[in-house]
Structure 1
Amino acid sequence: MIPLSVLENLHRWYQAWFLPVWQAPLLTGEYAEVTAGRLVLGIVFFLLFNRLIKTIFRQSRLPRLFRVISDPDTRSWMVNFTSFLLLVVLFFLTLFIVGIPLTVLSRIWNLTLFTVKDSSVQLGNILLGLALLYPGLKVSRYLSNEFQKIFLSQLKLETATKKSLEVVLRYVLVILVVLFVLTIVGVPLTAFTLVGGAVAIGVGLGSQNLVNNFLSGIVLMTERPLKIDDVVEIEGRQGIVEFIGGRSTRIRTFDNVRMVIPNSKLLENTVINWSLMDRDLRREVSVGVAYGSPTHRVRDLILEAVREHPQIKRSPEPLVLFREFGDNALLFTVFFWVELTESNKPLIIESDIRFAIDQKFREAGIDIAFPQRDLH
């Protein structure tokens, strides 16, 4: 058993030292009374439950509510947002434990910042609006993606049309979310009529490029000079259209480089769409042979080299033309058609044809001509 003298010493220490420090006022006033003891309790309470929240929302210990969501991005932001809301609730509970009553928090929440057309905009409504804006935008993106997966994927439409409908739906949902948040904040929609002129001037001066790109994106989605998976060429770079958005278009080159191009640039500059009507592309390879070579045999060998290539189309058939009698060679050109895809790169196919022609000419004893100069 603990001796009585020890207990008496502890009691005296508690009365003389601990209790005065614990009850020492740190903040006193009309709206709050914070003591050292309450501050310590609040800090301990916040740290413990903050640790608990982080433990619960670890990826390996997710609640079942989030595990049913298959999309990892959606699941991630929902987990983070729910964790943030719990931390906000924990923060207010900590303030209450410290000694700041809820009436003070209520007054801060209802604090009027400004008035718009006889409507008061309060601090709490702004915080609530910001808290709803982030998940609202994420939900808009998630719903548009699900709409594409569940509904649009069942329709017999082109990929570009499905993507355009998905983008349009996303913008509509975003506009609805923004209008809802403005209503929550307390800004009446009729107030925009008062600032319409200022907004127009702002758009005209500071947002020309943004509006121009957005309108150009609408034109691209409606007239559809470019579609998803089209093979295009702009400024000497070829690639495949991956995404057409409201502001920019993303193109993946054959070197696996992503180019993000403003939509207005696609309408203002010359863009070659190699697959606008179809993906058939005519290519040509020229070769010169020495004078005295059997021209019909040369033609047959060139055709044989082209027809043996697996990526050259059989229809239309390859065509060999005897172009001219050159200064140092008899010039031949073969025309052939290929289907333009990411794997069928025309430059590689042309190189293969040149290798094949050179091999067949060597086997047949036909010389490929080169410039010669006779010196006297």
Structure 2
Amino acid sequence: MFKFIHIADVHLDTHFYSRDPELRNKLRDSLREAFNRVIDTCIDEKVQGLLIAGDLFDNDKLSFQTEVFLINAFTRLKENNIKVYYATGNHDPGDKNYRANLINWPDNVHLFNDDSVQELEVKHNHQIVAKIVSVGHKSKKEARNLIKDLPAKNTEIPVVGLAHAMVTTASGVDGHDSYLPCTAEDLISKHYNYWALGHIHQAQQVANESIYYCGNLQGRNPKETGEKGGYIVTIDDYGNVEVKFRRFSNIQWNTLEISEMESIKNYQELKDYIIVKIEAFLNSKEFDANQLILRLQLEGRCFLKKSMEIDEDIKQLEEDIKLHLNLLSLEIKANNLLPLVNSRECLEGNHVLSRTVDLILNIKDNQELIDKLLEIKLCNKKLDGKNARLKYILELVEGLEEEALNRMVGEEK
């Protein structure tokens, strides 16, 4: 029997998406905690190996502190007779001048760090229980299909393939560069018992075979949502494979779309409405709110659209909701909101509403109207000269067509 944990795309010391430096530090610390959880699980589950399918860290960002952290973590595994099988990726390539090759790893770590095919026997109690076949990234832009060079299985002993590769038909490939590309057929043709893959940050099984991306260990941005972790894999003496996903990261990113805000007329109503929607979302997924980084995407027509275009107003709403629900972080995106009334529809026909909207939209080209507006006595006494007054007036009427439409059409009865 061969039992191991499969992880990939840890990206230690990576740059996380956030405008808040405190949150970025929390994410950095949380990622290390997740990796320590991997080490603890390896020991608790008494696995024979930890397989890392590339991008353990980002080569140009790796700190000395994290280098020591990794060495200490792998030393803990050594003390428990657990091997580490680590194939380099495009972010942590293994050529002589890159960090993965320069670190003095403990002797229980086997590094697959170049384009040469390596076959490694896994022994337990002096018996061969499996073979690992792997190839690494020598450089940060490996565009060749190296999988084709790997040998097909020719033994009754379980064989595991390990690679940081892009299967062209996998889900989520659009967001990743085509490094070490291959097809599902390339992998299937080797007849391995299990493929431990990295590069795609979305956990998935490929082609209904024992070909798995475990995803990254912790989400780095709003697109990398949901539970993150790795697989505990057991291959029995008959070659049967059991794969169990294990969540290792406490922090999660998620996105929630909220719409139907046409009738909301003030801040309190808006805040209460959004809180109810988030609470229902949290209850449906049993999230730990204080470990959740939530992005709200506001959609559809909204009476308060203009206010939602002001950064200060958005920040106030974010902070109030975040504190109320004890969220780790909240980001509100209102770029898809629409005015309560469709101005284009109102421009059709010859009526007071269409003429009003047309007048507002074309005010810059109506010199007669501009001259009349310049004669109006303004409250702002600091405006000096015709040009300053004109600029101020044009700022006042910016977006006025939406306000006029909302006021003239009124609420539906």
Instruction: Provide the TM-score with structure 2 as the length reference.
Output: 0.22
Bigger share in helix: 1
Instruction: Provide the TM-score with structure 1 as the length reference.
Output: 0.23
Bigger share in strand: 2
For CA contacts below 8 A with separation 6 or more, give which structure has more relative contact order. 2
